Amino acid sequence: MTAYPRGIAHGLWSCVICGQVANSGATSSAIPCGRCGSLVTDRRPGSSEKTLAWLTAGIILYVPANVLPVMHTHSVKGDEDSTIVGGILEFWQGGSWDIATLIFVASVAVPVTKFIALGLLLWSARWRSTWARHERAKLYRFVESIGYWSMLDVVVVAITCSLLQFRGLADAEPRPGILFFCCVVVSTMMAAMSFDPRLIWDSPVTSR
């Protein structure tokens, strides 16, 4: 990367909204974008701090999301509360391996992967690491792309509760766990959106 000139070294900043390149001149403060009118800066102010705050909130909320029940079922067999892991095991033991795998990926694998990936991006950006920059840029794009798939578990509960409504025989309703899980999804999405990927390319010499 040191063999090629960088736009920031020549006062060129890119708009994160429309991608327009703006000439900052001699100023170090935000300037309006000539295309969309939004404020353009060399780096998003407080990007790492905001990402860390959202990521921490997501990790904390992930605990009650897994401990508390996400759905309550009432049938002729009695009342039953289901957690995320409990629901996965029920589908697996009932022979619905494909549904169990899908829910496991959306409810466990995706959130945990985002926690680890965003933590790695934050740590490397904090120390201005030059390690695997291209790979970390791809990792950030991957985290952004898989963010919405975590909502699949919320959709499954919503569909199940709406379909399983046989008055006098069976019915289902959501429980607080699904609300916490929804907050986890939103928090991790906000963490990814708050992170400035341009920090990946900063070196100790150009740290800000």
Q: What is the residue extent of each domain of the chain?
A: 1-42, 46-206
- For 120, the token pair is 């790695």
By three-state DSSP, how is residue 172 classified? strand
- List, for residues 61-114, the tens digit of each pLDDT value: 999 999 998 887 766 566 777 888 888 888 788 887 887 888 888 888 888 999
Lookup result for tokens 């399983």: 164
Topology adopted by domain 46-206: Butyryl-CoA Dehydrogenase, subunit A; domain 3 (1.20.140)
Q: Are 200 and 140 in contact (CB under 8 A)?
A: yes
For 26-40, how does the pLDDT look when each residue is reduced to its tens digit (9 = 90+)?
Answer: 666 778 887 887 777
pTM to 2 decimals?
Answer: 0.78
87 closest CA partner among 105, 104, 106: 104
Report the greatest alpha carbon distance in the chain. 74
Between residues 136 and 170, the one the model is more confident about: 136
